[in-house]
Structure 1
């Protein structure tokens, strides 16, 4: 195994890598992350995610290299608020405005005024509707690789990841995940603050399950291009998450506060059956076991 440290937006770095070896498969993981952060740092996210991907493709052209397969890790963020159902009608709500959040209007309401419920995302039927710069750049990555792959008859697998957590993630970057932030605060015996009404929904998937999905994708190439969702398949409220972590750390009971963060979507979860069928992959880690593993790792760092 070789490691090369470089900048994905810097063409000479790509050329140097491709002079060292010519990969048969490329798994593209590099990206700047941060949904809310990207709204104020658009150029950085565009440079790394969009220009960086373009530099990869140009470097392949300069090297006259067409890999046997491309795999991209994308994000559940491309769905934005996702699809919701009100009565018998499925609709795509607009992004929640600052005024809505300030008024405590957390959930979208259907076109006829009937309360709505979120639907799990499925790449085969849920429309991508990015609501952040980060999400827009990830969807752009998908489109760029899909266009290049089609032109070169190269199989492409796009894995849209849900909220990934586990040992090795940053414990100080506020944009890398609520799980790590909660874990750090709970270990310090601080009460966890849960935003909105505590009912924000997320699908938390352990890092080992994501790695297994990536390996499975490389071993079972696509026939053309395919898009799959990778998660646990279980929607968890942020309040439920906070209580689990607080219990494991013997920390105070979490506090639901009326704070909010502009740019956050209300609900995000996915259907994993297509990935299970395509890749013969199934998540093995429960949220409880994953949290214990994360907390154990934090205690050793």
Structure 2
């Protein structure tokens, strides 16, 4: 349902743009995380949720088998991608994927965050989320070619940046 809604919004925007002869670039953002995101809103993503649990010394719970994959992209890379198109006379029309192009398992993400904080290893809960997509990652080569942009931060550097920011804004 979530993906269908996003695609419908893209189609509406592109139809309007076509009717008004406006070049429209649509960014398909992957799982965005990083400094500045809400630490209390459960809908802002699992990176901040996992970070909060690990900081408290709790084991991070994993759904299914922990092998669900996502493409996690640091907010700095998203901002760079958006900035790269703003002043271009030749802005590309249509959708562009903004991510790292790397599919990371939820288990690997959780393990990385737990290790950063010296928290216990993540554990499988056996729970499932109805309607959750098993694998979600993107192909960024077309975006890199169209914008001359590439992500600068891998997951390790991005997770570390988020943890350092959390420590500054929410000291223990």
TM-score by length of 2: 0.93
Among 2, 6, 10, the alignment partner of 1:142 is 10
Among 259, 263, 275, the alignment partner of 2:127 is 259
Larger Rg: 1
| 1:125-167 Cα shifts (integer Å, max 9, x gaps) | xxxxxxx2x3333222211211111111111001101100001
Query: In 2, distance between residues paired with 1:154 and 1:194?
Result: 44
Contact kept? 1:239, 1:256, Cα under 8 Å? no
Query: In 2, distance between residues paired with 1:190 and 1:175?
Result: 20
Query: In 1, distance between residues paired with 2:146 and 2:139?
Result: 13
Mapped pair 1:177 → 2:15: no
Contact kept? 1:230, 1:272, Cα under 8 Å? yes
Match of 2:67 in 1: 199
Partner of 2:53, secondary structure, is: helix
Mapped pair 1:166 → 2:31: no
Partner of 1:158, secondary structure, is: strand
| 1:233-265 Cα shifts (integer Å, max 9, x gaps) | 111000000000000000001112211111210
Mapped pair 1:268 → 2:136: yes
Match of 1:243 in 2: 111
Partner of 1:150, secondary structure, is: helix
TM-score by length of 1: 0.54
CA drift of 1:290 comes to 0.5
Query: In 1, distance between residues paired with 2:40 and 2:105?
Result: 23
Query: In 2, distance between residues paired with 1:284 and 1:219?
Result: 21
1:1-301 to structure 2, matched below 5 A, reads 132=1, 134-220=2-88, 221-222=90-91, 225-301=93-169
Larger deviation, residues 227-236 vs 214-223: 214-223
CA drift of 1:184 comes to 0.4
Query: In 2, distance between residues paired with 1:199 and 1:263?
Result: 16
Partner of 2:151, secondary structure, is: coil
Which structure carries more relative contact order (alpha carbon 8 Å, separation 6+)?
Answer: 2
Partner of 1:180, secondary structure, is: helix
Q: Which runs of 5+ in 2 are unaligned?
A: none
The total of aligned residue pairs comes to: 168
